[in-house]
Every structure is written in C-alpha cells, then in structure tokens.
Structure 1
Amino acid sequence: MKFLRFLPLALASLAFAGCNDDNETDNDSAAIQVLLIDAPGDYKAVNIDLQKVQVNATNAAGEEGWQDLDSEAGKYNLLSLVNGSYAFIAGQNFPAGHIEQIRLVLGPNNTLTLKDGTTVDLKVPSGQTSGLKINVNEDLKAGVTYSFVLDFDVAKSVVARGNGEYNLKPVIRAVPFALAGSIKGTVTPLAAKPQVMAIRTDVANGDTINTYTDANGGFQVFGAKAGTYRLEFKAAAPYKDTQKENVSVVADNVTSVGVITLTQ
C-alpha cells in the first residue's frame, strides 16, 4: 500500500515515461493511474480490503471486457486520505481508446471503527461482491497519462442497518486529473478543525467536495472540475462558520486560497 501526498496535477497531461518509439504496442497506448481519496465521515476508521482494480473498455455484460490493472492490493483506511493525501492503487500502460468503467474488487475483511473505538465488520451487499463499479466514460489518447481520482464519499457509503451492523454501499465519483484541478489552503486557529466544503457555483447543481483540515490546519480539495467554487468552513464550537466566494479552478492547476482565519 502506497500513501503519497500532493500529486502534481500537470502529470495528467504529460507523455508517460514508458512509451517506447521502437514498440508499436506502446506507441498505441495511454497510461492509467488510479488514485483513491476520501470525502470523510463521522468514524475513527473505515478500512477496505482491496483485492483488484479493473477497467472495462467494452461495456460488455458479465465478466467480458473487464481487464486487470497492476494493482496495489491491501487494506486502506479511507479516513487517512484527506488534505491532499491519497493512495496510489493501480497503474499501467493501456491501449488508447474509450473506457467505460473502473471496478474495485474487495475482499471479505472490510471493517468500520466507530468513534467510541469499537470495530465492527463492514458488510458488502451480495449484489456488489463482484466489484464496485464506477462510471468513467473517458477517451484515452496515445502517449498521455491519465490519473483517475476515485473520491470515496464515506458519509454516504456507510449505512447503519439498525441492529449494530453496517453495510458498505459505496458512493464514488471518478474525475480524471486531465479535466480537474484542486484547491488548497490553511485554516487558523488549529482548534477550529473545520470541515471544508467546495461547492461549484458556475453551473446548476454543481459538485460538492468535502475534506477536513490536517493536524497543521492545511487542506487540499482534489478532483475539482474547472469552474468557480464557494468554500464553506464548518467549524467546531466556539468558532464561527465562514465561507469564501468566487474561487476559480483551472484544469491541471492548484488554486491556493492562502490562510483562512476563523473567529469565535
């Protein structure tokens, strides 16, 4: 399992290093990287047991069309993937062309740690044991690296069954870095510990992306499509909520909003 920080968004538009002019197959290939980040939930830990990452280029029924990527199998705590931290979970050269979906295949050892420290099994419903499918619908151009961000919305994905058990019904959005940027900044004082919401305002029903500040007050919102956003900071008492309007995001760029100071 690999945890990295602050992926350079320009990487998504660079020709991949594995391209070899003497190799006809490579010259007809793009490169895919799959990254996992988290929109947080009110738990101590959400661990998923990742076995495989696959792509489907044909939208074929059943198992036809699914192809394995070189994957980083292992346990991933989704709640550690905030403020620009992410997990690299798969990547390799792949034939240029259209891909329909990405699929995460999970093992049986998924767990949820509640705020009181109790750890329980996180059950995947039987209809999803074949894999968690995320629509992508992206055209891959030869010689270009595509970094797909899978934004796992924990708050919506963990469902209490009412009997002390929990189901995992994933809500995941996929954004290729070639079409996205990010927003970063710092919040003071550290005690405010706000949730940060980036709400796109230049289109109707625009995306809302969530994260939290880290131990140093820093935050970074990944996978924001180009456009205009309002940042909302939901602070812990006694600090007051605040917001910042008209934050512009450009594809393949990081927008810095500097220091945001919250007051009591």
Structure 2
Amino acid sequence: MRTNRLILTGIFLLMLIGALACRKDKNNNDDTGRISMRLTDAPADYDAVYIDIQQVEFKMRGRAAIMLTPNRPGMYNVLNFRNGTDTLLVNTTVPVGDIEQVRLILGANNYVVVDGDTYPLTTPSGQQSGVKLNLHTTIEANASYDMWIDFDAGKSVNHTGSGKYQLKPVIRAYSALTNGRIEGYVLPLSAMATVYAINGADTVSAIPAPDGHFVISGLAEGSYQLYIEPAVLTFASFSTNVNVSFGVIANVGTITLL
C-alpha cells in the first residue's frame, strides 16, 4: 500500500509540474505579439542607392529598448523596392505594450550610383547614432502587425557638389492600419511621367513601372491632389482629386496623357 501511495504521489507531482509548465508557456505566448517590418521606397533619379542597415531598435513605453538584427543585415538597394514592392527586414515577436519609436542603425557602407559612377554617402554626425522614426503602435497579445519603413531616396540623398553626396534619411513609418494607398496606370510610357499625391505640405511621389503601373502607399486619410507631371513636354500634365481611406485602395484606373 505504501508503494502504491508513493507511485500515486509521484504521478500527481509529474502532472502538477506539467500543468505549471503549460501554464507558463501559455503566459509567455500571451505576453507577446508578432511584428513583420518591411522596407519600401519612393523613387529617385539615381542608378542605385545602397543603404547599410545593421540593426533595428524598437523603443517601448516603460520597457528597455529591443534591439533586433535584420533577416539580412547589410546593404539594400532601396530603388529595388518601389510601386508596392518591398523586402522583409525583421519578423519576430515583441512584448505587449506601446511602441513609441523605431531606430535604424546604419553601417558605414552607404553609397549612391550616378550615371554608372559610385560615390560614398556621408552621414551627418547627428544621425550617426541611428535614424529615428516615430511610430505609435500598441502591441496586443497574440496579434500580428505588418509595418513598413518607406525610404524616400530622392529626398534623402543630397548632392553637396564636387562629386560628394550626403545621406540625410527622409523616412516614413506606417502600419497596415494606417496605410492609405492610391494606385493606377499612367500611359503612354514615352511621357516618362512622375506621379505626386499632394495633401497640404505633404507630397509623396511615385515613378510608374515599365508597364505604367504605380502605387503610392503610407498615406494618411484625407483628400489628395493627384498630379501627374510628364518629363516629355509635348505631353500635358494631369490633375485630379482622390479621397484616401485606410483599408481601401483608391484605384484611379488608367490615365492617358495627351
């Protein structure tokens, strides 16, 4: 009988340990959410713009900063990620709470290619500690969040003269919940047009793909002037108003310049 009691006691202890372990695992899962952060780009008149991204830091309210290494740390040609194309930077879990800021930690290998020639991109001393982005998002337990870092290469690379270029990143950060989009087609391709979405002092641009397709993402809700400017002056510019709402793609169809 004593042996049976010992066996039953051992079984009970094993069951209790297993239950506590399961409870602990469940609590750990309940204390995190998943973030997928992607890199995309606004257009620029360069052959290539390479940015050396080494780490991504999330600053959360009331918690220590979370430092993450990208899936592929190193150089990214941001001009490869336009018109709705992006690349995954990080895909990981983070503690629940409020994200207040994202910081990109850049390495030293940043450069621009202009007409086939390569020039280093120097970084102002004030940004050598990282590029800071305000992104206010609340992470809830067991939820997944898609976020984008939109690098505006045209505004971020400054030609200072004598073959020297400076990197002063102009970047927007937005999530799937704050992603207003306008898309469509601009023809003919020979017009070499640039598309602008204008809301007050905020202007976001896109260069159509080889088939004429364009996407402008990360827009706040509101009314925008969609302005299309051809580089070939024999074509006339075009302008229309577009209403942007989160969760809805404002498709303007095909616009043919005359």
TM-score by length of 2: 0.83
More helix by share: 2
The residue that corresponds to 1:71 in the other structure is 71
What SS does structure 2 have at the residue aligned with 1:147? Answer: strand
CA RMSD of aligned residues (A): 2.1
Deviations 1:24-60 (A, max 9, x none): 2222222212121222222111111111112111488
- 1:138 shift after superposition: 2.2
The residue that corresponds to 2:216 in the other structure is 221
Question: Aligned runs of 1:226-245 on 2, under 5 Å?
Answer: 226-237=221-232, 238-245=234-241
- 1:120 shift after superposition: 0.7
- Letter in structure 1 aligned against 2:207: Y
The residue that corresponds to 2:94 in the other structure is 94
- 1:125 shift after superposition: 2.5
Question: Aligned runs of 1:121-140 on 2, under 5 Å?
Answer: 121-140=120-139
Contact 2:54 2:70 in 1 (8 A): no
The residue that corresponds to 1:174 in the other structure is 173
The alignment-based identity, stated in percent, is 38
- Letter in structure 1 aligned against 2:228: F
Deviations 1:205-248 (A, max 9, x none): 36321111001000011112222222111112122110121x22
Choose between structure 1 and 2 for higher RCO, CA contacts under 8 A separated by at least 6 residues. 1
What SS does structure 2 have at the residue aligned with 1:196? Answer: strand
Deviations 1:6-36 (A, max 9, x none): xxxxxxxxxxxxxxx9622222222212121
Residues in 2 aligned to 1:91 and 1:126: alpha-carbon distance in whole angstroms: 30
- 1:253 shift after superposition: 2.3
Closer, same or farther: CA 38–184 of 1 in aligned 2, 3 Å: same
What SS does structure 2 have at the residue aligned with 1:161? Answer: strand
2:250 corresponds to 1:255:
yes
Residues in 1 aligned to 2:163 and 2:245: alpha-carbon distance in whole angstroms: 44
What SS does structure 1 have at the residue aligned with 2:155? Answer: helix
Contact 1:84 1:222 in 2 (8 A): yes
- 1:128 shift after superposition: 2.1
TM-score by length of 1: 0.81
2:78 corresponds to 1:82:
no
- Letter in structure 2 aligned against 1:102: V
Residues in 2 aligned to 1:66 and 1:123: alpha-carbon distance in whole angstroms: 27
The residue that corresponds to 1:36 in the other structure is 39
- 1:142 shift after superposition: 2.5
2:22 corresponds to 1:23:
no
- Letter in structure 1 aligned against 2:159: A
Deviations 1:160-204 (A, max 9, x none): 22232111111111112212221111111111221111123xxxx
The count of aligned residue pairs is 234
